[in-house]
Structure 1
Amino acid sequence: MLLGPLRLTLLVGALWAVGALGWAALDLVLFTGRLAVKTGLTCLLGAGTTCTIVYLLSERLLRRRRRWCWARSVRSGSGCPG
């Protein structure tokens, strides 16, 4: 539960990285190296923005569930979530 936003962010980031590499490779083959670099960097900037939003929104959406898990673990006496 606590690593959910991180896992989701890493998954989205990996997909964006694959897409950025794919577009850069396609531009390198069909056009110029300069365009490939520009396209790859633009995709990576979009990836950073998207990953940030995904992390913040997933953390916000899971906040209530995390609070419920913490309260349940304290009640059971284990002292740790899960």
Structure 2
Amino acid sequence: MPQDSRARLIAYLCQAGLSTPRANAVLDQYTHALADRQRQFAEKRYNDDAPPIPYAGYLGMLDAADSIDPMAEAGS
């Protein structure tokens, strides 16, 4: 059984009937959408909270979004 969480999820989706390429595409699409939601939340919170809260706290949220977004590395 795969140990990596992404590999486990891909294996589960394949057992549910998706092909491996389709399972990867579905997971990439989901994580991209999740990262976009996280970026929007960080930017909204910063705009709502500014100036009392330093922007550095929100940079961490944006970095986290980039770390899960498969399209961030591709420059999208």
TM bracket (short chain)? 0.3 to 0.5
TM (norm. structure 2) is 0.47
The structure richer in helix per residue is: 1
Question: Which structure has the larger Rg?
Answer: 1
TM (norm. structure 1) is 0.44
